[in-house]
Amino acid sequence: MNNREKRGLLKRILAKRGMGQVITVTIGLIAMVVVFSFLNPFFLTSRNISNLLRQIAPTLITGIGQSYVLITGNIDLSIGSVVGMSCMMSATLMTKGVNPWTAVLITYAAALLMGFLNGQLISKAKLPAFIATLGTMTIARGIAQIVNNNYNTDSIGQAGAGFMDFFYYGKTFGLFNTIWIAFALWLIFNFILSQTRTGRHLYAVGSNIHAAHLSGVNISATITKAYLVSAFCSCTVGLITTAISGMGTMDAGTGYELYAVAASVIGGVSTLGGQGILLGTVIGAAIWGVLQNGLQFAGAPVAIRNIVIGVIVIITVLLDILVRYNKKAGRRQAAAEGTHVSV
Amino acid sequence: MSEYIVEMHNISKGFPGVQALDQVSFTLKAGEVLGLLGENGAGKSTLMKILAGVYTKDEGTIKILGQEVPFLTPHSAQGLGIAMINQELNLCDHLTVAQNIFLGREVLRGGRLAERAMNESAARLLEEFQIDIDPETLVGDLPVSKRQLVEISKALAHNAKILIMDEPTSALTAKEIQNLFATIKRLKKEGCGIVYISHRLEELQHVVDRVMILRDGKYIVDMAFRDTNLDEIISYMVGREITEKFPRVETKRGEKVFEVKNLNAGRLVRDINFSLYEGEILGIAGLMGSGRTETLRAIFGADPKTSGQIFIHGEEVTISNPEDAIRAGLVLVPEDRARDGLCTRLSVRENIGLPNLDHISNRLTVVNHRREMEITAEAVQDFDIRLASEESLAESLSGGNQQKVVIGKWLARDSKVVMFDEPTRGIDVGSKVEIYQIMNELKQQSIGVVFVSSELPEILGISDRILVMADGRITKELKVEEATQDLILHYATQFEKKLDPVEQIEVG
């Protein structure tokens, strides 16, 4: 009885949409871990795993934000710059003697404002997401440069020790805090996406914006929420970056928006909107991290790592398209006996 | 030699889980218009897609112009003079009419595109068939009806001898339909064979010489049109006599549930006033572009209003977006289900849940999946939606079942007024009747029903009262007892004689 129930649950989990790709890439991830552990005996030591997880965390966090935005059928190019802005802002405030936690709150407020701006430009002013976030990307990077007069900041010093422990160096129950932060954010945002009205609205907007509108979904609020989540995640990563080096660097976060796209897309989030689950984003981020870490261990130079990761992104998406194309072709044929083929 | 330009013998085709065609034979003569009829899923499109090389047959032989063709691809079919004009038009919006007509076989002069020569030859072609379109217009700027004519011209430019038209009139106005029929007659005279697929049986009499009926992938009958009538055709299509095409129920007219006063919203919604009572279905008739859809959208808050008041059960409600309307108990089943009705890549459950999330989620907005499954299962049962599972993607359903999902998502909540915009377009006869019955049930439950349709028989068959619109105004209100097709058409063509100059600027 119990067994049957379990099987039912397993079946239900497998039947969940988007699970297919998650399973495929999980197998890929396991294969990579196996290969790297053979190449390098230290790969699977608890010390390296702990470091690896901490290394993955920022990609996962920005990946969560990017996944939210991608699911609505948009894109957020401002992620990396918001990371940089948050890093510089928090560090500048702290070096000016502001209490670190006050600085954190102010920084979140500024980042959320950026997210709000993105959401409004896209949903109200109807700018294409690519253009709107390209604009805010440049603006946020400019702010990152301006807050400390075009210099990286000094060390945030002893006053920032608690802050640095909280975001990066400290451990709780034997795991780095950064990992816990990523895990907590994942839990919260996964819950919102899969269990709440807002989550459903995000999928609906990405799947068919007209139908969502006529179903009473507030399009503008929904898209804005996605960008707020993205900005929140970027800001968190910005704070982590500040904690890592204990200072603000103006070019922090460069390229993160694309890593976030990579993590999402490898995990099965469709850039066309309406599709994907955050479990996939975790696996996507893990693949990204394992490759970085494993190739580094194996002695591969940065350039080779970049090439490998780029190739992996293309292959996973290609595989996904091939699978989907076959399915669709089957469906199209099945639908063909009906004379009315919906447009 | 045979007189047939197409002979298909014992064609079979199976898809996973369904035998779409079972030993079907088909013939087409030169200079003939053949109506290919059948309910959704009967196999008409599959048969024609085999002829056009889109699908490959499992069994059977195909002869074209007397030559046996063992293997057809879309390209070789085109080479043999077969052209299929789909419901979804295959044109590039950003190219001109002439560029579309010559797409893939552009005329070159010294390696450069000879735009002028192509424009001229496109113009000659269009003129020959008396199609009034400038070849240099962008296709994206043309109304759907004209795009269809462009598609036909494109086929003719390929010297097509065998034309397959799938629901060619569904987006056309009466006048455009007449033009199309004139074109078809001209093609007939030139010796083309035309296969005409349509659900609009009333139109057949104007063009069709012969009808062939398929049912469940099997050949049923083939007869000269003059020897048959619509009742007989329908009975072959569904395999049983339909004694009453429009199920009508009589209820007593009760209190006023809904009233619209002085509604204005742009050129196509002007001074709209009407009331709706308990226990009645209010039909809105009119030609394409008369403002019916626009009126419903403005009422529903999907498009902005310039003025107007809306009352539900005597109380005025402010509706500035669809959310307000839904909260007030006023819902819209939109016209274009693929564009406006469904999130096609979400599941049936998610689609039905979408507008009802307020009812099935708690104060923290967490969705109760069990409640969602319940309302979905209820809708599936109530409306007899045929699907593999509630988790099936909406796009995997047939047109009729998709439409039932769109209706189901709205009726899962207690609405006071339901507005249907062309709910039966493009779906089979059986599903149509089911949708009429749903409207009747609502009427019996004292829910106000507004019903927009372009098909006069169904407006007459289902409504209790009919508003006729033309040019964005209501030109007449008719009780169903006094209404006839002629009368409705008369008021539907009462266009305004002259446009206000200010509005003309707005239009341009």
pLDDT tens-digit map of A189-228: 999 998 888 998 999 999 889 888 888 889 999 999 999 9
Instruction: Measure A339 CA to nearest chain B CA, in Å.
Output: 5
Q: What pLDDT shows up at residue A236? A: 97
Would you tell me which CATH number, out of the four given (3.40.50.300, 1.10.3720.10, 3.30.420.10, 1.20.120.10), belongs to the domain B4-238?
A: 3.40.50.300
DSSP-based three-state secondary structure for B467 = strand
Instruction: Measure B198 CA to nearest chain A CA, in Å.
Output: 9
CB B255 within 8 A of CB B277: yes
List the single residue in A208, A216, A338 with the smallest CB-CB distance to B344.
A208
List the single residue in B49, B332, B337 with the smallest CB-CB distance to A342.
B337
Q: pLDDT by residue (tens digit) across A90-128?
A: 999 999 989 999 999 999 999 999 999 999 999 999 999
Instruction: Measure A233 CA to nearest chain B CA, in Å.
Output: 22
CA distance A217 to B346: 15
Shortest CA distance from B399: residue in chain A: A340
Chain A residues in contact with B329 by the CB 8 A cut-off are none
Sheet (strand B417-421) strand order: B330-333, B417-421, B448-452, B281-286, B465-470, B473-479
Chain B residues in contact with A15 by the CB 8 A cut-off are 391
List the single residue in B217, B353, B402 with the smallest CB-CB distance to A337.
B217
CA distance B485 to B491: 10
Chain A residues in contact with B409 by the CB 8 A cut-off are 215
Q: Which of B30, B27, B80, B31 is nearest to B53 (CA)?
A: B80
- The ipTM of this complex is 0.73
* Residues A337, B42: C-beta atoms closer than 8 Å: yes
Q: For chain A, what is the radius of gyration of the CA atoms?
A: 21
CA distance A33 to A335: 42
Shortest CA distance from A197: residue in chain B: B365
* Residues A200, B391: C-beta atoms closer than 8 Å: no
Instruction: Measure B112 CA to nearest chain A CA, in Å.
Output: 35
Q: What pLDDT shows up at residue B103? A: 79
CATH 3.40.50.300 in chain B is located at 4-238, 251-329+416-508
Shortest CA distance from B89: residue in chain A: A343
* Residues B88, A343: C-beta atoms closer than 8 Å: yes
* Residues A334, B17: C-beta atoms closer than 8 Å: yes
Beta bridge partners of B36: B197, B212
Q: What pLDDT shows up at residue B273? A: 94
Q: What pLDDT shows up at residue B239? A: 62
Q: What pLDDT shows up at residue A329? A: 55
CB B24 within 8 A of CB B8: yes
Q: What pLDDT shows up at residue A343? A: 26
* Residues A338, B399: C-beta atoms closer than 8 Å: yes
Q: Which CATH number applies to A45-319?
A: 1.10.3470
List the single residue in A203, A330, A341 with the smallest CB-CB distance to B88.
A341
CB A176 within 8 A of CB A170: yes
List the single residue in B16, B346, B399 with the smallest CB-CB distance to A203.
B346
Residues 6+ apart with CB under 8 A from A301: none
Q: Give me the residue spans of the domains in chain A.
A: 45-319
- How sure is the predictor about A4, in pLDDT bands with cuts at 50, 70 and 90? very low
Select the residue from A209, A340, A341 to test the B interface by mutation, using most B Cβ atoms within 10 A: A340
All residue ranges of chain B with pLDDT < 50 are 1, 240-244, 497-508
Instruction: Measure A192 CA to nearest chain B CA, in Å.
Output: 8
Chain A residues in contact with B49 by the CB 8 A cut-off are 336
CB A263 within 8 A of CB A139: no
Q: Which CATH number applies to B251-329+416-508?
A: 3.40.50.300
List the single residue in A195, A199, A208 with the smallest CB-CB distance to B343.
A208
- Who wins on pLDDT, A129 or A315? A129
- pLDDT above 50: residue A273: yes
CA distance A53 to A33: 13
Residues 6+ apart with CB under 8 A from B31: B188, B189, B191, B192, B193
- Spell out which chain A residues touch chain B, with contact meaning CB-CB distance below 8 angstroms: 15, 17, 195-201, 203-204, 207-208, 210-218, 274-275, 330-331, 333-343
Instruction: Measure B301 CA to nearest chain A CA, in Å.
Output: 9
Instruction: Measure A200 CA to nearest chain B CA, in Å.
Output: 7
Q: What pLDDT shows up at residue A36? A: 87
- pLDDT above 80: residue A337: no
Q: What pLDDT shows up at residue B324? A: 93
Chain A residues in contact with B166 by the CB 8 A cut-off are 339
Instruction: Measure B132 CA to nearest chain A CA, in Å.
Output: 27
Chain A residues in contact with B358 by the CB 8 A cut-off are 197
Select the residue from B354, B403, B419, B425 to test the A interface by mutation, using most A Cβ atoms within 10 A: B354
Average pLDDT estimate for A23-47: 87
Chain B residues in contact with A208 by the CB 8 A cut-off are 339, 342-345
Instruction: Please state, as a whole number, how many other Cβ atoms lie within 10 Å of the Cβ of residue A249.
Output: 18
Q: Which of A73, A64, A43 is nearest to A273 (CA)?
A: A73
CB A215 within 8 A of CB A200: no
CB B194 within 8 A of CB B32: yes
For A67, the token pair is 């996944």
Chain B residues in contact with A123 by the CB 8 A cut-off are none
CA distance A55 to A182: 11
List the single residue in A201, A335, A339 with the smallest CB-CB distance to B44.
A339
What is the overall mean pLDDT for chain A? 87
Q: Distance of CA A36 to CAs A43, A46, A316, B426, Å? A: 7, 15, 20, 57
Q: What pLDDT shows up at residue A308? A: 84
* Residues B302, A330: C-beta atoms closer than 8 Å: no
- Who wins on pLDDT, A326 or A307? A307
Can you say whether the dihedral through the CA atoms of B30, B35, B38, B44 is positive or negative?
A: positive
Instruction: Measure B409 CA to nearest chain A CA, in Å.
Output: 9
Indicate the burial class of B254 (C-beta count within 10 angstroms; 0-12, 13-18, 19 or more).
exposed
